[in-house]
Amino acid sequence: MIISRTPLRISFAGGGSDLAAYYRRGYGSVVSTAIDKYVYITVNKKFDDLIRVSYSKTEMVESVEEVEHNIIREALKIVGIERGIEVVYMADIPLGSAGIGLGSSSSLAVGVLNALYAYKGQHISAERLAREACEIEIEILGHPIGKQDQYAAAYGGYNYIRFNEDESVYVDPIICLNGTKKRLARKLILFFTGIERVSSDILGEQKEKTHENIDYLDKIVSLSDQLRRCLSENDLESFGEILHEGWINKGKLASGISSTQIDEFYSKARKAGAIGGKILGAGGGGFLLFYCEEEKQDKVRKALSGLKESPFQFEPQGSKIIYVSE
């Protein structure tokens, strides 16, 4: 039996610039961190030759082609496992939560690849896990998504990730004082809106509008570069304002990124003392993140009392194998 654990992620700046329609013009960049919310994949040999896949439903099939779960099916193909295996998917978030903004589908892709390769006795680099997860989600399945989630899940930690015109990806850990990360963690609060959305719809529109959104995307990339510099210099003074600028620009990329209800949540939080914030992932629902001085956080919590707060910590490690049995 093999068990892999793969973190989810929070993206602070640069979202949207990881789409090929943008970064092939020059480069895109994001600043993101892995967090202590995880996807778990258990892989075990079956007594017979059937394939059992368990997530929010259970499948029992005779061939890989019959597997309905598209990411798990394509991972089995890439690794070269054809029969006699059981794959179980669990997560720290509800398995039915499609499009919540923490990169869960990419964490699943990275985690299942890691577990399947380990089952075959192979140790695979973070770069290869991320690259093959991108291959599954973007090239094979045709999802209109970017590359940041796969690399955040595979590498873990707090990173500046650059997406280059030639399809190469540069992952640069952000080096700052440990005290800076601790201060930042104390100033961030995360809420679940309870609104689920289909991220591919929003990202599909965003992809189609890339040309007309170039100015906004250029600004978003500039903000990620600014945020990297602030953190590297151990300066959190402008962190919240950078998030707020990102909120303003991101909302212009596609019609479904925000909504009247989400705008109301954001406005209430700002009036209560939050300096800035962002809707995580493609937008449209899922999680809202706010940067707020500690003495004002209770006011923000009160203003958003109808939402569920989700405490978190930064996770320094990416996808890893946490259990191996003979």
pLDDT value of residue 216: 81
Alpha-carbon span 251 to 232, nearest angstrom? 27
Answer whether 206's CB lies under 8 Å from 213's CB: yes
Summarised one tens digit per residue, pLDDT across range 129-145 is 999 999 999 999 998 88
Q: Residue 58: beta bridge partners?
A: 54
Domains, in order of start, for the chain: 2-175+315-324 (3.30.230.10), 178-309 (3.30.70.890)
Q: How many CB atoms lie within 10 A of CB 55?
A: 18
DSSP 86-143: EEEEEESS-TT--S-SS-HHHHHHHHHHHHHHHHTT----HHHHHHHHHIIIIIIS--
Alpha-carbon span 147 to 111, nearest angstrom? 15
What amino acid occupies position 52? R
pTM for the full predicted model: 0.92
- Give percent of the chain above pLDDT 90: 75
Tens-level pLDDT at each residue, the chain (326 residues): 999 999 999 999 998 899 998 999 999 999 999 999 999 999 999 999 999 999 989 999 999 999 999 999 999 999 999 999 999 999 998 655 456 778 899 999 999 999 999 999 999 999 999 999 999 999 999 988 899 999 999 999 999 999 999 999 999 999 999 899 999 999 999 999 887 655 555 555 555 656 667 888 899 999 999 999 999 999 998 999 999 998 887 665 554 555 778 889 999 999 999 999 998 865 556 889 999 999 999 999 999 999 999 999 999 999 999 999 97
**Residue found under tokens 């958003």:** 304
Alpha-carbon span 174 to 260, nearest angstrom? 35
